[in-house]
Each structure stands twice: as structure tokens, then as C-alpha cells.
Amino acid sequence: MMSPHRKPMLAGAAVLAVAALALSGCSGAGDGGDGEKVELEVQSAMAEGTARYDSLSALAEAYEKKNSDVKINVVPMGKDYEGDMKVRMASGDLPDIWATHGWSLLRYSEFLEPLDEQSWADQLNPVLDSTMKNDDGQFFALPLTTDVAGILYNKTVLADLGIDPASLGSIDAFDKALKRVKDEGIVPIASSGKDDWFAGNVADWLGSGSFDEGQSEKLTDGDFAADGFEALFGKIDEWAKGGYFNPDFSSATSDDIATALGQGKTAFVMIQNTLLVNAQQFVPDAQLGFMPVPAINGDPEYLIGGEGVALGAWRDGEHKEQALDFLAFLAEPDNIGKFAGEDGNPAGLKDIDVDLGELSSSYEAFFTPGKVRMVPYFDRAYLPNGMWNTLITTTSGLVTGQTTVDSAVTQTEADFGTLYGQQ
């Protein structure tokens, strides 16, 4: 599990040259005096047109109606959010508010205002304590959602084939299901090389079940664990050679995959639950759910969780007061509940009524009873900052057949050594 005592991973941030900022917009303009509006820049890390982006934008508009002296610019995600944020940290010109994408403590905490004394702070979901709080009990972002992720699946496809998702807890059982789906002319697993972050999730989902405790400890200590990566990349390569990935991997977008999942043209997708919400926008009568991830190393199945959609305020921001007020607005029960329901995840605060719709049955089956173990995102817990891009390129290369398992392991080892040394 992720240790709350790990040092922030700010690999290379101190030596990044101050470049033209890749993120659009400038940090807040105006001071609210003489009728001039304060402008808050909110870097969302959300793709424009997605349910979560539209939901946050709607809440921003609602806040503006109550606060006529504030303008909130919700900025959609660019091509390289993580890289862009590194540049902005190095230059000292950060957004008023930004999405921490799982790294509020380990990467961004020194730049963010502590929130543990805010009026809503005692409502933080306790399952997030280990990933969001430091040794002093401080946390640095408002979690709009508690992230609970597994493998999304089309219920109709599995039911028609007589496959019970609760029976797929071992990798052997899951592999047999993939073959059965393929034999019926349905794409077993869909992913995307075009929206390349999508492919990285395949490795991230499987990574938590590819390493034993000793191998995981080696990674956190800076020692490369080749055996675990061989198992991880070997499974992806096996699936690729078996024809289990979508043929349009290189050109498919996340919207294409959401539509295919909703239409039953693909059975499984390794991504957060927000894709399921998007799929039901395209195919309203789709029957969808999520299931635990089977471990490659034979350990028990697992769900992936931790900090979900979370927003923090720049501690040195010119408009910090307004930024904190907007976060407090988002933390109001009706607002955070609305966002969480539209995102398909439990809220990041306690005692929030969330309508999870079609996802309710999956939560009741796999999450609420507490019998399925929860693990952190593999890259956040065990890999140095910057390795996410390596997971993307190696996975994409394996799926397209342009990379071998040996080459993927070699590339990962080289990047791991370089990036760990830069911490």
C-alpha cells in the first residue's frame, strides 16, 4: 500500500527551464476592486465535453451567480497535463486552483494551501487518510470523489455468454472469459493509443497485481524489480497476440470506446467509472458495471482506489481567499453529491447522498461489503514521478506489436533509474 511518509516526487522540477506555459490561461486577473471581477483559473485535468468537466463547469456557473465579483475559468485538460504542471511549478506561476490527479500529497503539497482547518475538513472520507494526509494530519485538496475503480464491463454481453463477473477473480478465469468473448466476435478489451493516457491505465490496473510485497518494497527503495514487469508486460503482450484488444486501438478515442462499451461491441475496459457515465450518455439503455481486477501473480482480486477528482488552492495565489471560498462551495453537500453522482463515484466527504444510478449494483456487490481489497494506483505508490509516460509508451508498443516484452522491460528499467535518481 502507498505509504503516507514518502517524500514528494518532484523529479526534475527544480531544474526545468522557465518556458512558455503550455497550460492555457493566466493565473487570476483583477482584484475585485472598483467593480473589476476577480478571475480564478481552475485547471481541471478534465477533457472538454466529458460528464465531469460539464458538471464542474455548471457548478462554477452556479457559484458565479451567487458571487458576481468572481469569474471562474474552468480550463480543460491539454495534451500533457502532468508535464505542463511541472513547468508551472518550476516557474512559480501556478493556477489559482488545480486538479491534483492523485498527487495532492506526494507531488503538490508544498505548493498548496493546507485545508485541514476549513469548515468542511472534518468530513473528509476516512478511507482517504492514508493517501491524502501527511504526518501532521494536514491535507491539501478537496476530494470531490473517492476513487473506486475496477474493470468496466457490459452486463448484457456477459449475461448473454453466461459469464458471471463475480466468477472472474482469478487471471485464469478472466483469460478464459476473454477468449469466449472473442470467439463470439466481440472485442474483449478496448483501449486507446490516440488518447494515449488511456493505454497507460492498462499497465497501471494490472501493475498492482504483478508484484509481490518484496518486489513492491524494492521499487519504493529505488531498486528495479524486473520479474514483476516481465509478468505485467508479458500478460499485455499475450493479450495483444491473442487479438484481445480493439483493432482500431491506434485511432480510437475515449468517446469511441465509451460508445463501443455501451453498444456491447466490446466487453471490458480498464478505466475509471467516468467512462461508464459517458457511455450511458451515448447509449442511454446500456447495462454496465464494474468488477474487481484479477491479479496476475495469483493474489486475491482487488479494486483500485484513493484520491479521486480533487482540487487544491495555490498557497501563494493572489486570490487564495476566493479560491478557498469556491472550494467551500463545492464541498456543500448538494454540490459535491451532484458532482460525485455525475462522475460515477462516492463523494470524497462523509455522509453525502450520491445517486450512483447504474453503478449502484456494482458498489453493493464489490465495494460496500468491504470483502474485496483496495490497493492504490500502482504508479502513484511505487514509481518515481514521470514513469506514467513510460507506462503509456510501453503498453502502446506492446498492443501494436511495435515493442517486445524484453524491450519494454529494458526501457522501463532505464527510465526508472533515471527518474528515481532525480527525486
Average pLDDT, the chain: 90
Which ranges of 102-225 would DSSP assign to H, the alpha helix? Answer: 129-132, 155-160, 171-183, 197-207, 213-220
Give the pLDDT confidence score for residue 233 in this predicted structure. 98
Give dist(CA 179, CA 242) in Å, integer: 8
| Percentage of the residues of the chain whose pLDDT score is greater than 70 | 91
The pair phi, psi for residue 295, each rounded to 5°, is: -85, 135
Give dist(CA 150, CA 158) in Å, integer: 16
Range in 164-173, 291-300, 343-352 with the lowest mean pLDDT: 343-352
Q: What is the pLDDT of residues 204-241, one digit of tens each?
A: 999 999 999 999 999 999 999 999 999 999 999 999 99
Indicate whether 374 pLDDT > 60.
yes
CATH class of 13-147+308-360: alpha beta
Question: For residue 380, what are the CA distances in angstroms to 9, 39, 266, 384?
Answer: 10, 32, 28, 8
Give the pLDDT confidence score for residue 365 in this predicted structure. 93
Q: Where are the beta strands (DSSP E) in 34-133?
A: 38-43, 70-75, 97-99
As annotated, the residues of the chain forming the CATH 3.40.190.10 domain(s) are 13-147+308-360, 149-305+375-421
Indicate whether 15 pLDDT > 50.
no
Question: For residue 232, what are the CA distances in angstroms to 120, 235, 372, 406, 416?
Answer: 41, 6, 21, 12, 15
Q: What is the pLDDT of residues 292-325, one digit of tens each?
A: 999 999 999 999 988 889 999 999 999 999 999 9
Q: What is the mean pLDDT of residues 131-151?
A: 94
Pairing, β 187-190 against β 266-270: parallel
Higher pLDDT: 137 or 380? It is 137
Domain 149-305+375-421 sits in CATH 3.40.190.10: yes
Angle at 177 between CA 407 and CA 381, to 5 degrees: 50
Indicate whether 373 pLDDT > 70.
yes
Query: What is residue 47's three-state secondary structure?
Result: coil
Q: What is the pLDDT of residues 258-305, one digit of tens each?
A: 999 999 999 999 998 889 888 998 999 999 999 999 999 999 999 998
Strand partners, 41: 73
Give dist(CA 199, CA 19) in Å, integer: 28
The three grid cell numbers given for residue 383, joined into one nine-digit string: 514509481
Query: What is residue 300's three-state secondary structure?
Result: coil
Indicate whether 361 pLDDT > 80.
yes
Give the pLDDT confidence score for residue 423 in this predicted structure. 67
**pTM, two decimal places:** 0.77
| Percentage of the residues of the chain whose pLDDT score is greater than 90 | 73
- The pLDDT confidence band at residue 102, using thresholds 50, 70 and 90, is confident
Q: What is the pLDDT of residues 56-98, one digit of tens each?
A: 999 999 999 999 999 999 999 988 888 899 999 999 999 999 9
